[in-house]
Structure 1
């Protein structure tokens, strides 16, 4: 799962085009989508200085680690995009710009049914 275009100011797509093509050629499904817990909520947070429900949920997930928030988002985004069926168990591997450091077994769902998502097992996460 990659960031949407223009996620980083002035950069159309930060995911390397050659790597993207190579993955597609090998049969890997590459999903480009808005963050399930961000998007419009981030715009509201910035404009009005508050904290939206999506921002609150994201910050709670970050209490585990940044990768936990990302793992939950990519499970939602993959389901929203139709690559995963709601109710299907998936292993979401996530992290930050420094690399993957988190793996979570999740029962996936679509973002509009967020509270049906289940984190079944934390397989790996950084220790702080």
Structure 2
């Protein structure tokens, strides 16, 4: 499915695509980007194990996280695990390029993935992060839900690799995404 534009307005249809695909194909794990918990909460009850990946601590303001402790507890209460960690496609390299200029491999990869849309970049990145954190199994296809800004607009079926082998990640199928960006 392709959406005419990117962004939060596609969230309901994106979640429906993820839920339907998980049910039809017996997908056991879903990874979702969510900073407020709203998008992640919509995937509760799918029968799949859901991992919510937030922005890194300090993404907006040093020492702060966008997701409150109460929201983390609420998500945990419905069986959703929350991961906050360094973004695998920026992290240290972003710090170096911000200070010294230049472009570095992880950032080049991020920009290349954005050619398919921000949600595609996010979906690949968060799946690798969840795998590196041990929250999803190695070698198993997962659904990964990303977005552009807030909400969700992209679902990929992929088999992530650990960050140190990120080029072995395989996007198996694009379930939905914005078209013509």
TM range (shorter): over 0.9
Match of 2:106 in 1: 54
2:166 equivalent to 1:114? yes
Partner of 1:6: 58
| TM-score computed with the length of structure 1 as normaliser | 0.94
Q: Does 1:28 align with 2:87?
A: no
Residue in 2 aligned with 1:97?
149
RMSD of aligned residue pairs (Cα, Å): 1.2
- Greater mean deviation of Cα atoms: 58-67 or 12-21: 12-21
Matches for 1:79-90 after TM superposition, within 5 Å: 79-90=131-142
Q: Deviations over 1:96-123 (max 9, x none)?
A: 3331000000111111110110001111
Give a deviation string over 1:60-81, Cα, whole Å, max 9, x none: 0000000011000001000000
Query: Equivalent residue of 2:172, what SS?
Result: strand
Greater mean alpha carbon deviation, residues 4-13 or residues 72-81:
4-13
- The SS at the match of 1:112 is helix
1:16 to 68, 74, 93: 68
CA distance in 2, matches of 1:106, 1:10: 32
Q: Secondary structure at the match of 2:74?
A: helix
- Aligned match for 1:41, one of 93, 98, 105: 93
Q: Distance in 1 between matches of 2:171 and 2:94?
A: 24
* Corresponding residue of 2:30: none
Structure with bigger RCO (C-alpha 8 Å, 6+ apart): 2
Secondary structure of the residue aligned to 1:59 is helix
CA shift for structure 1 position 10:
4.6
Matches of 2:92 and 2:140, distance apart in 1: 27
- In structure 1, distance between residues paired with 2:99 and 2:62: 20
Matches within 5 A, 1:65-76: 65-76=117-128
